[in-house]
Amino acid sequence: MKLVSRDYEPQTGITEEYWYDEMAGTITIKRFQDVEPILEANRIDFNSFSGKKPKFNDVDGIYKVATIPNMLLEKWLREEGFNWQTASEKERAAKLNSNEYQLLRTRPGRI
């Protein structure tokens, strides 16, 4: 396979590569993202509460509870059929309350 082009989007941190397979005559698109900066920012936000119980009425009842990398949203949709945009609040909360995704959280407590 031959790399045809590579595009990097600095706002999202997503890199998209186009690979051409001459034998098969196909193009494969690979997308990836360095999620470490997002997870580190989540950790800093989460730890900013350091023992204090967060108030859940910060701005008219609207508050940030997580930051989810775009590539993870795409992975959920592709592999599990889980669409964050169309999921109910209960389904989203279940996803974020699971131990598997605790690094996405920016606040302690359950959603």
| Chain mean pLDDT for the chain | 90
Residue 5: strand, helix, or coil: strand
Token pair for 89 = 């609040």
The answer to whether residue 107 scores a pLDDT higher than 90 is no
pLDDT of residue 14 exceeding 80, the answer is yes
Residue in 62, 43, 50 with CA at minimum distance from that of residue 105: 43
Whether residue 34 is predicted with pLDDT greater than 70 in this model: the reply is yes
pLDDT at 58: 55
Q: What is the pLDDT of residues 50-87, one digit of tens each?
A: 777 666 555 556 778 899 999 999 999 999 999 999 99
Residue with structure tokens 């302690």? 108
